[in-house]
């Protein structure tokens, strides 16, 4: 049997048996080396560790911890109050507050699931008490949190940039406009539904109360400005930005808002270590898997297959988007990004697609997968928080998935929406 046959056959068989993706990739890779090559088994450990010896990956635990601190330290609640000052008076005001809060939080945490849990815990019950359908509240929470990995900083961009050797700074800046478009389209969808169902506006806020809310939220609002501004200005790298985000969130949570006691900090750090360890296990197993695919020239075969079909980048992007949307229904987003990126990048470069543009398109595509049954992570989070069935959730999430698909189509076929800001602020890539 060939290496590819054992590798892919073993991986698919293990997935079908319900084995976790990281274990399936690692076992399939080790089995292929043992059964079909003359390589020593020590190669397994070497290939799984070499990818982790990367400076950009240091950003990952920092952004994970920053997101956890925002959830526990009172930062999320203050951003919700601040967002209400601007969009609360629209029809369906609390729904718009949810979207606005996620837009602001996206500039600090970089994680869709963290934002989903943080805003969902506060706002799903609040929306239900205000007369909104609980299923609508859950669906909107899941959809709005997908902005998190698109507006910089982004854990997904860190992973893609490190694996594909693409500038993480350019990916961060390139996600800003698409992220704002996601927020706009979700607000339009929420407004149309709220108008039809006559969901209420929020009551007006007096000027003294508004000033008090803005003053209280100002340190939290400055967090994404400090993180992104420092990267664009060249003051620090994206990896250093992760450390600054975590440190800033720690100071706000413990010293400024005083909602996180010092005794709870080790627990937050431990939770961050567990989340980071789970991601790194997938990364290291995928490194072995991807190395074997590259050794057997699978990317070149895939490239030849695509170019034989068509060498038009627009055709490639359409086929890739459709395939990834289908795969996203069955695979977790991080696993899929790590698995697909090293295989597909030679094809991307061969058809002349800008890797920054492709990275943002791919990440947004994967975020839609967080919303769709049967394995959408955001779907599970909001259904657990809201106490609703997946069937109830699925009926309500359709308009928001359509809104995000429209944005995906826009950024896929209008690359300037992704590349304009990186080229303007960081210079044209050579």
Longest Cα pair distance anywhere in the chain, in angstroms? 75
- The encoded tokens of residue 239 equal 């990896």
Distance CA 152, CA 173 (A): 7
pLDDT, position 119 = 82
Residue at token pair 């060249």: 234
Residue at token pair 């809060």: 101
Sign of CA dihedral 349, 351, 357, 361: negative
Cα distances from 277 to residues 55, 56, 63, 343, in angstroms, run 16, 16, 13, 24
pLDDT, position 48 = 84
Asked if 131 and 94 count as a contact pair (C-beta separation under 8 A), the reply is no
Nearest to 242 by CA among 404, 108, 97: 108
Nearest to 139 by CA among 182, 173, 214, 190: 190
Count of residues making up the chain: 430
Query: What 3-state class would DSSP assign to 285?
Result: helix
111: left (phi over 0), alpha (psi -120 to 50) or beta: beta
pLDDT, position 430 = 62
- The encoded tokens of residue 382 equal 């909001």
Is the whole-model pTM more than 0.95?
no
Cα–Cα–Cα angle for 347, 8, 22, rounded to 5 degrees? 95
Look up residue 419 and give its DSSP letter.
Answer: H
Helices 112-129 and 134-144, packing angle to 10 deg? 150
Task: List the domain boundaries for the chain.
Answer: 55-279+298-426
pLDDT, position 1 = 52
Distance CA 202, CA 37 (A): 66
Per-residue pLDDT in tens (0 to 9) along the chain, 430 residues: 588 888 888 888 888 888 887 888 889 889 989 988 888 888 888 888 877 777 667 777 887 788 788 777 888 788 888 888 888 788 888 899 889 888 888 776 677 877 888 788 888 888 888 889 999 999 999 999 999 889 987 889 988 998 888 988 899 999 999 999 999 999 999 999 999 998 888 888 888 988 999 999 888 888 878 877 887 777 887 778 888 888 988 999 998 888 889 898 999 889 888 878 877 887 788 778 878 877 887 766 766 777 677 778 888 899 899 988 988 887 778 878 888 888 888 889 888 899 999 999 999 999 999 898 877 888 888 888 888 988 899 999 999 999 999 999 999 999 999 999 999 887 776 6
Question: With helix as H, strand as E and coil as C, how does 6-40 read?
Answer: HHHHHHHHHHHCCCCHHHHHHHHHHHHHHHHCCCC
């Amino acid at each position: 049997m060939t290496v590819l046959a054992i590798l892919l056959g073993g991986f698919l068989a293990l997935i079908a048996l319900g084995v976790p993706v990281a274990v399936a990739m690692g076992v399939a890779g080790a089995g292929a080396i043992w059964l079909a090559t003359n390589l020593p088994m020590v190669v397994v450990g070497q290939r799984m560790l070499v990818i982790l010896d990367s400076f950009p990956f240091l950003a990952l635990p920092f952004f994970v911890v920053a997101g956890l601190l925002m959830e526990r330290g009172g930062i999320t609640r203050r951003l919700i109050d601040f967002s209400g000052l601007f969009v609360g008076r629209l029809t369906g005001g609390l729904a718009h507050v949810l979207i606005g809060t996620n837009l602001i939080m996206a500039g600090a945490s970089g994680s869709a699931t963290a934002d989903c849990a943080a805003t969902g815990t506060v706002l799903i019950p609040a929306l239900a008490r205000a007369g909104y359908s609980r299923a609508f509240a859950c669906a909107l929470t899941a959809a709005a949190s997908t902005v998190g990995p698109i507006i910089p900083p982004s854990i997904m961009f860190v992973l893609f940039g490190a694996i594909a050797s693409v500038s993480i700074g350019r990916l961060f800046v390139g996600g800003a406009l698409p992220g704002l478009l996601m927020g706009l389209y979700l607000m339009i969808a929420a407004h149309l539904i709220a108008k039809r169902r006559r969901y209420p506006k929020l009551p007006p806020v007096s000027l003294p109360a508004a000033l008090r809310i803005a003053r209280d939220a100002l340190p939290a609002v400055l967090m994404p400005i400090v993180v992104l501004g420092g990267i664009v200005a060249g003051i620090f790298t994206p990896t250093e930005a992760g450390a600054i985000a975590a440190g800033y969130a720690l100071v706000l949570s413990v010293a400024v808002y005083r909602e996180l006691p010092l005794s709870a900090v080790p627990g937050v750090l431990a939770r961050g270590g567990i989340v980071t360890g789970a991601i790194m296990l997938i990364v290291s197993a995928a490194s072995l898997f991807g190395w074997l695919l590259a050794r057997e020239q699978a990317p070149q075969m895939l490239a030849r297959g695509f170019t034989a079909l068509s060498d038009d980048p627009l055709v490639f992007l359409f086929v890739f988007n459709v395939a990834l949307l289908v795969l996203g229904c069955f695979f977790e987003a991080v696993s899929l990004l790590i698995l697909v990126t090293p295989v597909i990048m030679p094809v991307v470069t061969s058809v002349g697609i800008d890797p920054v543009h492709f990275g943002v398109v791919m990440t947004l595509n994967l975020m839609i997968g967080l919303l769709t049954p049967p394995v959408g992570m955001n779907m599970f989070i909001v259904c657990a928080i809201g106490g609703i069935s997946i069937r109830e959730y699925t009926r309500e999430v359709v308009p928001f998935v359509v809104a995000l698909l429209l944005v995906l189509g826009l950024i896929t076929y209008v690359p300037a929406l992704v590349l304009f800001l990186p080229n303007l602020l960081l210079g044209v890539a050579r």
